[in-house]
Amino acid sequence: MLARLLIVVFLGAAGISHAEVGGDAENGERLFRQCSGCHQVGEGATDRIGPHLNNIFDRPAGAAEDFRYSSGFQRAASGGLVWTYDTLDDFIENPRRLVSNTRMSFRGLSDQKDRDDLLAYLRQFSASPGNIPEAAPTAVAVDHEVAPEVLAIIGDPAYGEYLSGECTSCHQPSGATEGIPSITNWPADDFVVVMHAYKEGVRAHPVMQMMAGRLSNEEIAALAAYFESIE
């Protein structure tokens, strides 16, 4: 009994403290001007070029009714992507890392503080506080970007060609995309970013998490070099 009481008190405290350490919603509103060309949020918000963002927290990706999502988004959605603080944080940092071929042409917010502020603003428009994570993910600054020295590794295309045998059991070099996306002619940087996203479990697909999970930084660079090079 006592133990349960303690936990409740503790959770309550964590919830409050998160609200306090969370971002600055006012600054978030200012930052949202970069988004408002395509997205609406707040009372009366509707889908525009992008879907409206009311109740975005805890909403499965690609779930705004009537909005026509890109195929990349549909794929991410069917893979079980749900918008939480963490996934939104990741997406805003670099959209293509989480969703390939998204039509959202936004280069991303690299500053953690800016992202916290923007999310603090957006979460005001989600039914709160129930569906907002009680734990404070922002208390620990997670660095989602691939480190520059990893991006700088120059891959060995010959090794990449050998390793690519693991990819071509499913991904067709011809670039066909039915059921399984094409990975031919991908810019090497994108390839590296995406493979690391699978490796860290940020992207949801179980096969890809498994395949990427055992690739070293050098091996990912080698594959990227190879797939960029083929016709």
Partner 1 sequence: MTFNRRTFLGSAAVTAGLLAAPMVRAQGKPRVVVIGGGAGGATAARYIAKDSQGAIDVTLVEPTRTYYTCFFSNLYLGGFRDMQSLGHSYGTLAAEYGINVVHDWAVGVDRDAKTVTLAGGSSLPYDRLILSPGIDFVDGAVEGWDLSSQNAMPHAYKGGSQTELLKAQIMAMPQGGTYAMVAPPNPYRCPPGPYERISMVAHTLKEVNPTAKILIADPKENFSKQPLFEEGWSDNYTGMIERIGPDFGGANVAVDPLAMTLSIDGDVNNVDVCNVIPAMKAGRIAEIAGITEGNWAPVNAADMSSKMDENIHVLGDAAAQGDMPKSGFSANSQAKVCANAVRGALTGSTVFPARFANTCWSLIDTNDGVKVGATYEATAEKIAKVDGFVSQTGESDDLRAATYQESIGWYDGIIADMFG
Q: Contact positions toward partner 1, by CB under 8 A?
A: 75, 77-80, 158-159, 161-163, 165-166, 168-174, 176-180, 206-207, 209-211, 213-214
Q: Is the separation of the CB atoms in 22 and 138 below 8 Å?
A: yes
**Which of residues 75 and 144 has its CB atom nearest to partner 1 in the complex?**
75
**CB nearer partner 1, residue 159 or residue 186:** 159
Check: CB of residue 57 under 8 Å from CB of residue 84: yes
Q: What angle do CA 211, 216, 167 make, to 5 degrees?
A: 35
Q: What's the closest the beta carbon of residue 93 comes to partner 1, in angstroms? A: 25
In the complex, least distance from residue 78 CB atom to partner 1, rounded to whole angstroms: 4
Q: At what angle do helices 188-199 and 206-213 cross, to 10 degrees?
A: 100
Q: Work out how close the CB of 116 gets to partner 1 at its nearest, in angstroms, rounded to a whole number.
A: 31
As a whole number of Å, the CA-based R_g of the chain is 20
Rounded least distance, CB 222 to partner 1, Å: 10
* Token representation of residue 176: 């066909």
Q: Which is nearer to partner 1, 58 or 166 (CB)?
A: 166
Our measurement of the distance from residue 24's CA atom to the centroid of its chain's CA atoms, rounded to an integer in Å, reads 22
Task: Specify the residue, 148 or 165, whose C-beta has the smaller distance to partner 1.
Answer: 165
For residue 22, the 8-state DSSP code is S
